[in-house]
């Protein structure tokens, strides 16, 4: 039986609506933290102009591979093992990166490595799309996000909802410029950076 994320089922339609515009000029996307593979299958099925590269840390690859074997459309590549601390990343010939609900799970040191890796991968015109909850100037966008952040930190003190300003600073340090900040359902955002041509 395939692993299912209810969050993926809830958020895949609104994320797709954003990606359809933001990745219209892209041709090959690396997804960081593909999890159950539901996003990869759904987005690639609708964004047929893209080659979709799923990835996951090695220990979490089996459920991803299982779904892709059952459901992946032709434009989904075989899943690869990728840890953001790897240098260089085992990903080539890509002009966009997408990640959903990962930066608040990672330690801050891993978030820094995420942006380092994106900066090394993305050339002129490259796009980075990140979906998930963020804070602005240290303030939560909702009471439920504040509660969620406390739950995250109780579970793992190194995790937590990140400040937009800190994420943007990491992106800027890699030569990436903010292009859009899309409000999403359930108090999430999709942040989009790009490397100017």
Residue 50 belongs to a domain: yes
pLDDT (tens digit, 9 = 90+) per residue, 79-124? 999 999 999 998 888 999 999 999 999 999 999 999 999 999 999 9
Residue 34 belongs to a domain: yes
- Which residues constitute the domain of residue 162? 6-194
Residue 1 belongs to a domain: no
Q: Give the model's confidence band at 12: pLDDT under 50 very low, under 70 low, under 90 confident, else very high.
A: confident
Residues pairing with 50 in the sheet: none
Residue 171 belongs to a domain: yes
Q: Choose the weakest-confidence range: 4-18, 27-41, 60-74, 175-189.
A: 4-18
**Given 3-state DSSP classes, what are the helix, strand and coil percentages for the chain, each rounded to the nearest 5?**
40, 25, 35
Q: Which of 110, 103, 107, 111 minimizes the C-alpha distance to 156?
A: 107
Residue 59 belongs to a domain: yes
CATH number where 115 lies: 3.40.50.150
Is the bond into 88 cis (omega within 30 degrees of 0)?
yes
Cβ partners under 8 Å of residue 70, min gap 6 = 2
Q: Choose the weakest-confidence range: 60-64, 88-92, 126-130, 151-155.
A: 88-92
Counting the structural domains of the chain, the total is: 1
Return the pLDDT at 92: 84
Residue 158 belongs to a domain: yes
């Amino acid at each position: 039986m395939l692993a299912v994320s209810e969050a993926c089922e809830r958020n895949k339609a609104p994320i797709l609506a954003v990606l359809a515009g933001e990745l219209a000029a892209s041709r090959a996307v690396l997804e960081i933290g593909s999890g159950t593979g539901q996003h990869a299958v759904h987005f690639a099925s609708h964004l047929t102009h893209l080659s979709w590269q799923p990835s996951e840390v090695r220990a979490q690859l089996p459920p991803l591979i299982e779904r892709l074997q059952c459901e992946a459309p032709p434009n989904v590549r075989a899943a690869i093992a990728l840890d953001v601390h790897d240098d260089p990343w085992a990903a080539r010939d890509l002009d966009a990166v997408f990640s959903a609900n990962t930066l608040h799970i990672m330690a801050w040191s891993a978030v820094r490595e995420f942006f380092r890796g994106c900066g090394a991968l993305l050339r002129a015109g490259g796009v980075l799309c990140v979906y998930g909850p963020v804070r602005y100037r240290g303030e939560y966008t909702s009471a439920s996000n504040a509660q969620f952040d406390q739950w995250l930190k109780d579970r793992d003190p190194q995790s937590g909802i990140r400040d937009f300003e800190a994420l943007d600073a990491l992106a800027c340090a890699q030569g990436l410029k903010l292009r859009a900040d899309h409000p999403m359902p359930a108090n999430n955002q999709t942040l989009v950076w790009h490397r100017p041509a």
